[in-house]
Amino acid sequence: MKPSHIVSALSVSFIANRTAFLWGQPATAKSDLVRQAAKEWAAKLIESGNLDPWNGQVPDLTDRETVRKLCKVISLPLFDPTDLKGIQNLTDVGKDGATYFTRPAIIPRKGDGCVCLFFDEFPMAPPMVQGACYSILLDGEINGYYLPDYVRRVAAGNRKADRGVNHELSPANRSRMVHFDVEPDNDDWLKWAIEHDIRVEVMAFIRWRPELLHKFDSANRSFPNYRAWHMVSDFLNAGMPAEIEQAVFAGLVGEGAATEFVGFLRVYRQLPLPETVLMNPANAPIPSEPSARFAIATALARKAQPDNMDAVVAYMGRFTDSQGNPQPHYGVLCINDAVTVNPKNQHTRAFAQWITQNNDVIFN
């Protein structure tokens, strides 16, 4: 299931108040998907006017700390069974002479807001720790303490085939959850990359070599994956001498992908600036290499605004093959990205004309 569908599936599991388990290879953004689903769930509650989780106060979902509290991560391999079940209170024996378990501080209380308890790396935890989760996964209950109404549960981990540390989940635990497999998806990642200001060079490279977005390889220290390409973008933002680029990128995405990316960067850095193209779209040079065309289309989309969409459309309309035949697929990705960058771009005359001229490509 691709990431955007995972978020939708988690939303449904929140409404049903049932625990979901996300299975997937390392670095497939499972944690990010859970956080996104938790934020969307909170937004829907607020939109519906339901402020009970926050005692009637409207939370600020633009505040980073507020959003962070929506998802409480429990890295399960680091816990003992008593960390989850609590310990018996021996200093405050009840009138009936019985002892009672204390509530662990990691377990939300009423008034903490809507919270997603995220049991990460679940299969890495020893069987005794997994067993301590039985009642909380199924019923949201820990030794007589029931989770507040607006607390939900999600677990995640890698599969045996991924060759990580893995303890088999018991049938009893497996039957307590709905299971989803997370599969990488280039379109989903590229949309996310635009929204999170991932470097244009990285996005353009993935468009040219989509199979290198995620290529799991347990035999090597580094391999191409969502997380690694995000870090590549961070290193590009930090700046570095050209002579160490190969080594740095190899340490993130592996030797093969790094070699291709460094070669791609050489081409990218020789392209005309997007600002230059926008000033003279009728005469700005059109690169001939497919990799360079992906690069300039991606870079141009990042600069697209309603007042320059005419120039964007005019330039992309000049893309042809060596025989002069139109190549509109570069325009499709550029215009799609432009709308993601700024939804107002789709309300321009240039966008409407482009849709009319290219509807056979878009809808076929």
Using CA atoms, how far apart are residues 235 and 245, in angstroms rounded to an integer? 9
- Band of pLDDT at residue 91, cut at 50, 70 and 90: low
Dihedral angle sign, alpha carbons of residues 116, 121, 122, 128? negative
- Band of pLDDT at residue 95, cut at 50, 70 and 90: low
Q: Residue 363: is its pLDDT beyond 60?
A: no
80-89, 166-175, 218-227: which has the minimum mean pLDDT? 80-89
pLDDT given at position 84: 87
Q: Residue 201: is its pLDDT beyond 80?
A: yes
CA 271 from centroid of its chain's CA atoms: 30
86-95, 218-227, 232-241, 346-355: which has the minimum mean pLDDT? 86-95
Residues counted in the chain: 364
Sequence-separated (6 or more) residues with CB below 8 Å from residue 335:
301, 312, 313, 316, 351, 354
pTM: 0.85
Sequence-separated (6 or more) residues with CB below 8 Å from residue 183:
1, 2, 24, 28
Q: Residue 164: is its pLDDT beyond 90?
A: no
- Structure-token pair, residue 76: 């399960």
